[in-house]
């Protein structure tokens, strides 16, 4: 419902009516918020908008014709709900997505019940990077390889489910390799690498997820054979995988890196299981790598037999709360905060772990 033209500061002669300027500003701010949503979240937003109990409602036909983008949705919200309803409607839907992290832009402690168009909030995201050279262009194809050994790793099935959902939300094409023996794994990851080099279209990013038992510098296959992590990293370097030159190569390793256990300084409950790297720097043979480990060198990693790996579960929780808002290093810093403050036991002993990030990235990564 539009406000009457005379409201707001006195209009100068010849100036456009204040409400028109306000609606335009509202639409801009709505679009800035909606642009934070993934493609799937935008689709869910449209679905949830149909259930909002606020008049007048946007019709399903209008959503179908004009609501397919952040800009289109922002225009519909601004035109059909305006102030004060638009912020209320937006807040209702964001809470149910859930993307409550975006609500801070629409909350003003001094505003009471008044509708407020938020100022653009400065944040660390690709929207405010000074130059387009400061972040990787991920508009090309995103390719992911997911290997997981489930044998003798209770809870690994949930890790697979959570990782596949996350990859889908981040728009990765996925290749899965579940419970492989050593030669099968090496064959499949080699085929994956060779396939990257044969792709004619631009590649935006490559992500390798390895979830298994392990020890320092190695991950293990289903049959227990050791596979050198350094050899895997080398497969995707600038010499062996030219398709990924100056493209981000992200490795998520969920495996033990040794037998040591850190009991922490203080703690408290629950049984788990247990997860190395290389990087080099010319273009360096090894550049644009980002490798995340679930624990310190020589230490066990942690996996609950029912809930799955501590790191994977924390990744899922942080992504559900913040989505794609953060640069990957910031994202995993938040994940690490969850992991570090997670309490559990191995038998009677309290165990603490901290994620380890190793990076030769030259730009920011935003999925």
How many angstroms separate the CA atoms of 287 and 276, rounded? 17
* Residue 118 near residue 29, CB atoms below 8 Å: yes
Is the predicted pLDDT of residue 207 greater than 70, yes or no?
Answer: yes
To the question of pTM greater than 0.85 for the whole model, the response is: no
pLDDT value of position 23: 72
Helix residue ranges per DSSP H, 199-271: 229-235
DSSP 58: P
Residues 312 and 237: their CA atoms lie apart, in Å, by 26
CATH 1.10.533.10 fits domain 18-121: yes
β-strand pairing of 289-293 with 249-254: parallel
DSSP 286-330: S-SEEEEESS-TTB---EETTTEEHHHHHHHHHHHHHTT-S-HHH
Q: What share of the chain in percent tops pLDDT 90?
A: 35
Q: Helix 18-34 and helix 82-96: axis angle, to 10°?
A: 10
> What are the extents of the domains in the chain?
18-121, 132-359
Helix (H) or strand (E) holding 73: helix 70-80
- The 10s digit of each residue's pLDDT in 10-66 is 334 444 444 444 677 778 888 888 888 877 777 888 788 777 766 666 777 776 766
Q: What is the pLDDT of residues 215-248, one digit of tens each?
A: 989 999 999 999 999 999 999 999 999 999 999 9
pLDDT averaged over every residue in the chain: 78
More confident residue, 151 or 325: 151
Under CATH, what is the fold of the domain 132-359? Rossmann fold (3.40.50)
Tell me which residues are annotated as active site.
Answer: 213, 256
User: How much is the pLDDT for 118?
Assistant: 52
Give the C-alpha separation, 153 to 299, whole Å: 17
Q: How far apart are CA 154 and CA 160, in angstroms?
A: 12
């Amino acid at each position: 419902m539009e406000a009457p033209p005379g409201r707001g500061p006195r209009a100068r002669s010849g100036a456009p009516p204040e409400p028109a300027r306000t609606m335009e500003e509202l639409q801009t701010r709505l679009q800035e918020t909606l642009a934070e949503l993934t493609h799937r979240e935008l689709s869910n937003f449209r679905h949830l908008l149909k259930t909002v109990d606020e008049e007048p409602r946007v019709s399903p036909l209008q959503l179908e014709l004009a609501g397919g983008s952040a800009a289109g949705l922002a225009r519909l919200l601004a035109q059909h709900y305006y102030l004060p309803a638009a912020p209320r409607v937006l807040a209702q839907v964001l809470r149910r997505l859930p993307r409550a992290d975006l609500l801070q832009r629409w909350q003003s402690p001094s505003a009471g019940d008044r509708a407020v168009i938020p100022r653009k909030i400065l944040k660390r995201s690709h929207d405010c990077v000074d130059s387009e050279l400061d972040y990787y262009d991920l508009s090309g194809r995103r390719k992911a390889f997911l290997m997981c050994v489930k044998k003798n790793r209770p809870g690994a099935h949930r890790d697979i489910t959570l990782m596949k959902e996350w990859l889908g939300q981040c728009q990765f094409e996925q290749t899965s390799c579940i419970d492989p023996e050593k030669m099968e794994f090496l064959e499949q990851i080699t085929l994956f690498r060779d396939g990257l080099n044969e792709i004619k279209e631009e590649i935006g990013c490559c992500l390798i997820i390895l979830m298994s038992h392990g020890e320092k510098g190695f991950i293990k296959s289903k049959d227990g054979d050791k596979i050198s992590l350094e050899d895997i990293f080398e497969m995707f370097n600038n010499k062996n995988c030219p398709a990924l030159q100056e493209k981000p190569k992200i490795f998520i390793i969920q495996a033990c890196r040794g037998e040591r256990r850190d009991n922490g300084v203080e703690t408290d409950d629950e049984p788990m299981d247990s997860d190395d790297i290389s990087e080099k720097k010319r273009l360096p043979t090894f550049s644009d790598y980002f490798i995340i480990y679930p624990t310190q060198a020589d230490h066990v990693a942690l996996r609950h037999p029912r809930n799955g790996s501590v790191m994977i579960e924390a990744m899922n929780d942080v992504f559900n709360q913040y989505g794609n808002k953060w640069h990957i290093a910031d994202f995993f810093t938040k994940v690490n905060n969850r992991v570090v403050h997670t309490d559990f036991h191995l038998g009677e002993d309290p165990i603490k772990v901290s994620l380890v990030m190793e990076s030769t990235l030259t730009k920011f990564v935003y999925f």
